[in-house]
Copies of this chain bind each other. A is one copy, B any other.
């Protein structure tokens, strides 16, 4: 095959059997790769009602046809499974260098089944595939694990692993590769931990065949020109990283603060990308084949939070900063190092801590239940909690369940700022209406990188829409969600969409694979993938009632800022969204829609 390797590795951890399978080319064509292809395999093979942490759940690592090629940002893989946080399908993706190496070894993806009786890791060196004992790295951080396992592999090997959080089944544990790149959300690392699978080590020396090398080269070149002429991808992101958004979103009054009690954070400037660049930034870092290089290598040289590593990103800065009322960038950076090294999602962690702080300040979470002082703004508590949650120590054991289960435990689930039990990221839906509809309808719960309408509603990409208006947002959300599903499935990074559209994506995808994807066919594939995820969730038991927002977002007006007095008017958008999606009133894809999409 071209683009795809054409081979999948199926690993049964219960029996120890490792088997190479042929990739179904028609399934690949229709579901493309990565998120889409892995979701299709999960949909085909796993009962949606399965307990996510049982051996019957599967864990799928999957690259896309552009992964490992010279396509702009072709660095990514997805980890797809049923989420222990949300009970929905989970698809989390990551960049770095691991995914390309997997393809160079001769595999588009790996399907993990069952559960090992002891901690193990998977070792791949081209055609050599071994399940090896991992007792010696069990309990180690992601950085320690990577260093140790690399010493047991040839030069050039790449490692994806879980940290203590994944081992301890923290519901928002992630899979970390290349030390600081993570398939971050929805707890895919906990599923890996539940299988006693510590890591995947891979070394590959093969190549990827391109169907039309000259056409592909021209397409990549044209796309690169667009990346270089765009102020976000060749300005904001390389210069300041994702945290370039802190001041922008705060100025919109959409920067959720103290568990969404307001949308304006007085300390924003102190934790902005610009401040990070002026203080702890060492250099920017890029993933395989990426000209943007939004990654931040950082160093906190001294003081109680001294350390070095990568990040924080915008979302981590917000969740562990503004949302917790913390404006100490060194503390946030240190907490972020814990997230990377212990292996969990800093968004859900920060938002859960923020929720705990509100529960604590309101007296719902009694002081005797926590060894930490949980008031908003306490930087020391943030850093301590960031360590404890990774090991489920003390209050960390409660935080490890996520904000919804925590708030429900204390009788106030309405204080969890989440949809489908996954916490919202750093955009208040009361100030930006469309993103609220996206939060309510994404297939892995509250999430921005499934339909980033911020691009349009705030940044004016590709066209400016009014963030305070609901009209037209149903179609906007659908378009962003479908485009994202397409991009996620190709193996390139969502961030290219600041500069590139679906036509640019297929302009690389078609010559790489030799399949004549048009823009329409690409968008249709994205829509197909999104609907397939939806069908998984419906079969898992979710209903229209799960397509909602936290009561605060729907009922409590923002108290200040440009969006003062606003709530999210989801009810003005949801029915129309169902209609444009071709779903019935209960949010189920109609037979006509399934036929149109070929599901």
Interface residues of A (CB under 8 A from B): 1-2, 25-26, 29-30, 211, 513-516, 518, 520-521, 524, 591-596, 598-599
Contacts and interface: CB of A to CB of B under 8 A. Distances in A.
A29 B521 CA distance: 13
A598 B516 contact: no
Contacts of A515: 595-596, 598
A526 to B, nearest CB: 13
Nearest to A524: B516
Given A520-B516, A521-B521, A591-B1, A598 B211 contact: no
Nearest to A27: B26
Contact of A518 (B520, B594, B599): B520
A595 B514 contact: yes
A41 to B, nearest CB: 15
Contact of A1 (B25, B29, B518, B595): B595
A593, A595, A596: which has the most chain B beta carbons within 10 Å?
A595
Given A1-B591, A521-B521, A591-B1, A596 B26 contact: no
A353 to B, nearest CB: 46
Contacts of A593: 514
A25 B594 contact: yes
Assembly stoichiometry (copies): 2
12 contacts: A1-B591, A2-B591, A2-B595, A25-B598, A26-B598, A29-B595, A211-B596, A514-B593, A515-B595, A515-B598, A516-B596, A518-B518
What 10 A-B pairs are tightest by C-beta distance, nearest first? A29-B598, A514-B596, A514-B592, A26-B598, A514-B595, A211-B592, A515-B596, A1-B595, A2-B595, A25-B595
Is chain A's interface secondary structure helix, strand, loop, or mixed overall? helix
A579 B591 CA distance: 41
A156 B516 CA distance: 46
A25 B594 CA distance: 9
A595 B26 CA distance: 8
Contacts of A211: 592, 595-596
Contacts of A594: 25
Nearest to A24: B598
A272 to B, nearest CB: 44
A146 B593 CA distance: 41
A594 B6 CA distance: 13
Nearest to A523: B516
A6 B19 CA distance: 35
Given A514-B592, A515-B595, A598-B515, A30 B25 contact: no
Contacts of A591: 1-2
A599 B592 CA distance: 25
Nearest to A4: B595
Contact of A30 (B2, B26, B595, B599): B26
Nearest to A212: B592
A22 B76 CA distance: 37
A44 to B, nearest CB: 12
A29 B524 CA distance: 13
A595 B517 CA distance: 12
A208 to B, nearest CB: 13
A592 B524 contact: no
A595 to B, nearest CB: 5
Contacts of A599: 25-26
A598 B521 CA distance: 14
Nearest to A520: B518
Nearest to A518: B520
Contacts of A30: 26, 598
A2 B30 CA distance: 20
A247 to B, nearest CB: 42
Nearest to A527: B516
A25 to B, nearest CB: 6
Given A25-B594, A25-B595, A513-B595, 4 more contacts: A29-B598, A211-B592, A211-B595, A514-B596
A143 to B, nearest CB: 40
A249 to B, nearest CB: 36
A219 to B, nearest CB: 16
Contacts of A596: 211, 513-516
Contacts of A592: 2, 211, 514
A260 to B, nearest CB: 40
